[in-house]
Structure 1
């Protein structure tokens, strides 16, 4: 009753105004920042003669252009690696996975300085033509902007997670001119629930992002497809099979990215040298197959045009994009994985349609249907957001039939990827960092709670030389039926039971010690502790430091269960919170 009394109508109104204002402000700021990011990339592409148009307009000799094509990404790779691995306090790249981690485990985002420096590294990577995406950095930038709300210490439950989701939604909305997709992506991939407390401000942020990008700045969509789509029932079987193929290619892409990161980490070179090597590879690819370098915006637009690429060219772009993106991200460039996945999927869809027509199959849907469907089917398992992918198709094309075709391909692709890889590339990246989200938010949060934080404040710990009578009296006074013994150096020796103690004896407890049934390491998580407690019977479990073997404390079974119940109650409250 006391808790309910504190939440007065005026407090409720203040909270509503606060969260809606947060959504509006973050939406506007993120949209402007995202647009500025994209414009800065394009400006750098022209300034550094990365874009084909800038090269043509430069009037330089072929030899000079060759030198520039090689030198710019080499120097850029070294500079980006220096910026990210030397100047950023976190000394590593960051991206959407960090936003997911912050929201799911209720932790702060990387500090603002690290976030801005990493974003600057992504800007440099894209500016010199690295094969990385722009949407990952934009999402991360939106999350960083949202994460700044934590410093305001607003008196609203879950406001930090909501603010991060607002930044993410606004960045997607501004990037794709797709406010519904931005809204759904924030809930589907970042928050992973649909409480009204978060739904309202995230909706406002996504809408404001769309208005800023589409009305104030008149940004053009990533790609525009306007075509009449006629689908026949038998073709849905083809879409299902193509979905399975897209899932396999998506898994190949993600596993190649992870392999590139592993190999890059094993190369014994300073970060600047690794970045320069990656830049050299980018430069050579720009001379051989420029379609696989840089943002790929023109490659993506031409991909929707039948006949723009021959089948052999589409196959080379598909394979080349996978390999080059893995090299760039694994060797020191910073950027997203969404844009490359779009190109890979577009090439795959074009190859499927070309192959089917070569086999003499007639009555197929338009070329663009296969390209767009495969594009989203390859991309959606990477980001773990199938609904977002379908909505992007609908919002960009306004075609119900094309959205239905994409839905079938996306669903089958995600079934394959989820079964043989995982929910998303971001979840696997977090798993490699020790955060397993596959069993849900509660399990993940419990995995981050060490049992030592729940140790009893007044534990019955005695030295092995203590007399039995004194120990018996102490246990009786505090209501414990067991005690725990250490030597003079604090090393754990075993436990004793009150029924074994002689109330009239001064003999040391060392004579009646028993080996512990169960011992927790100081870093054992509450999640692991609950599993280990399945067959345990007793008052408490000793916590022993693995290295020193010193007794840190003891934790009761009730304390561990209470920690679990507290986490579950907190998450249920968040997921069902209203305004």
Structure 2
């Protein structure tokens, strides 16, 4: 029987828990998928499971008004919920980077419901954000209830996200590496087994309940030879710039809606109305998009170009106006369209070059999706699992590598990290940096502060603190505020005469502007020591109320920082005995 203690101390226990979480998340994804399909069928009056773009024009009024009504309901719901919970929702990447994997299940359900309403009303967003938020939120909540270690809790969040993507696309390898690349911030041996178990369990349950459609499907193997390698590289280069354009389009749309003289809760309704008007001309923009579906890609150049531009605009309108969701599915469709369009252009300009159209479609899909989502290995594995074609995956790898390099060098963000940047959240990925902000001056400081009034004499200081009795003494004003650091070596300098003994100690105080605040993190503390060049600094209540509450020594701060770095590295490697078991 698994107990809380056995889970904390057993790798096998965490592995079994990860498998159970994967199964639960697979069930949740299947239910959410069916809820979206049912909602779209009801509100758009289409056959169950029918693509919105194929049937939306059968009722133009529904096409125009349903997204607007859905946006209005979403805006009102968000406004009402914010009266109860005004905090921002922490997603899995942010939770693992800053909060040690801690997420709120209630907030996760908030985002899941908002994404369900957004996608159900036809917004051009994907359900992947809801899947991963729900999966990671469930895993995090369970881990917190069991009081798991920080590293195990972060791993469970990765398990929840991996299970969600795996179940959504029937691709356990892609789901696992989605977690490694985006939610965990890297691959380690210690996290391989639990995340792998969660991914496989989720796919098994999802396949048992539903028949998830692959993100792409082609009926013949892909040929990769000759100019195909060069074409994939060039396509990847162009796809990188298309990825940046798509991400920036969302930002431009968001700024445009903010500039309009309408309340925040009304923006989704206006965005939905604009989306509905666009869908009257290009109905395929509604919903998440079918991925790289050949039925959508077997079009002429003009039709693919129109749909490519319209889908970028639709996604920007949806996310910019306040609909909730992701760009995973949309990026697959954009990439597939871009690859097909590139093939058509090459055939017009250089006929008979012998390129494989399907290869360019796959490479475009992977390159654009990797550039936007920021998960290159995930996209390569998604192609490999969906096509079971090794050569196709090798061609996609070329495009993905070039695309992500372009995005990293020219833009520096994926869509998720770009959104963090706009919100002022200082992270570039899920690497665990939260412990730095948690290791504050308040936790580092000592309370046995030795102080002396600035008005007291040097002779008094000598009698209170004889030679060798104290290394650091802080001078304070009569009102208790910090006035500087006293150099005890100078105080006991034998060359000082009797006249010097009557000198007020305030005249010897230095570094009056060098102090720490209780909330300063360890890196800020160490930077302050470097600039002040002293061995100890006081911790004051605030810059305006400079009463001393403790002090920190540079040696201790360095030692604690080094220990935490070693502990983090040990947890990544699965070695928990570096500084004892906790």
Q: TM-score, normalised by structure 1?
A: 0.87
Q: Which residue of 1 aligns with 2:477?
A: 487
SS at structure 2 position matched to 1:241 = helix
* Alignment equivalent of 1:301, drawn from 293, 297, 312: 293
Shift of 1:335: 0.6
Q: Which residue of 2 aligns with 1:84?
A: 78
Matches within 5 A, 1:395-406: 395-406=385-396
Cα distance in 2, alignment partners of residues 197 and 61 from structure 1: 48
- Is the 2:347–2:353 contact (alpha carbons within 8 Å) kept by the matching residues of 1? no
Q: Could you list the runs of 5+ residues in structure 2 that have no partner in the other structure?
A: 577-582
Q: Which residue of 2 aligns with 1:44?
A: 39
Q: Give the stretch that moved more between structures: 78-87 or 177-186.
A: 78-87
Query: Cα gap change, 1:399/1:110 in structure 2, threshold over 3 Å: closer, same or farther?
Result: same
Query: Cα gap change, 1:479/1:502 in structure 2, threshold over 3 Å: closer, same or farther?
Result: closer
Q: Which residue of 2 aligns with 1:362?
A: 352
Shift of 1:155: 5.2
- Is the 2:102–2:144 contact (alpha carbons within 8 Å) kept by the matching residues of 1? no
Matches within 5 A, 1:311-330: 311-330=301-320
Cα distance in 2, alignment partners of residues 361 and 367 from structure 1: 13
Cα distance in 2, alignment partners of residues 250 and 263 from structure 1: 20
Matches within 5 A, 1:82-231: 82-87=76-81, 91=86, 94=89, 98-154=91-147, 158-231=151-224
Shift of 1:72: 1.9
Cα distance in 2, alignment partners of residues 334 and 477 from structure 1: 66
Query: Cα gap change, 1:531/1:315 in structure 2, threshold over 3 Å: closer, same or farther?
Result: farther
Shift of 1:43: 0.9
Q: How many residues align?
A: 562
Q: Which residue of 1 aligns with 2:383?
A: 393
Q: Does 1:533 align with 2:529?
A: yes
Query: Cα gap change, 1:315/1:519 in structure 2, threshold over 3 Å: closer, same or farther?
Result: farther
Q: Could you list the runs of 5+ residues in structure 1 that have no partner in the other structure?
A: 1-9
Taking only aligned residues, the RMSD between alpha carbons, in angstroms, comes to 3.2
Q: Which residue of 2 aligns with 1:16?
A: 11
- Is the 2:37–2:48 contact (alpha carbons within 8 Å) kept by the matching residues of 1? no
Q: TM-score, normalised by structure 2?
A: 0.87
Cα distance in 2, alignment partners of residues 248 and 569 from structure 1: 39
* Alignment equivalent of 1:565, drawn from 562, 565, 568: 562
Cα distance in 1, alignment partners of residues 112 and 137 from structure 2: 10
Q: Give the stretch that moved more between structures: 210-219 or 340-349.
A: 210-219
Cα distance in 2, alignment partners of residues 61 and 481 from structure 1: 79
Q: Deviations over 1:203-228 (max 9, x none)?
A: 11100111112244333323322223
Q: Deviations over 1:353-397 (max 9, x none)?
A: 010011133243332221121111111122221111000000000
- Is the 2:372–2:415 contact (alpha carbons within 8 Å) kept by the matching residues of 1? yes
Cα distance in 1, alignment partners of residues 28 and 272 from structure 2: 27
Matches within 5 A, 1:329-368: 329-368=319-358
Shift of 1:121: 0.5
SS at structure 1 position matched to 2:418 = helix
Q: Which residue of 2 aligns with 1:75?
A: 69
Cα distance in 1, alignment partners of residues 311 and 464 from structure 2: 71
SS at structure 2 position matched to 1:76 = helix
- Is the 2:224–2:356 contact (alpha carbons within 8 Å) kept by the matching residues of 1? no
* Alignment equivalent of 1:26, drawn from 5, 18, 21: 21
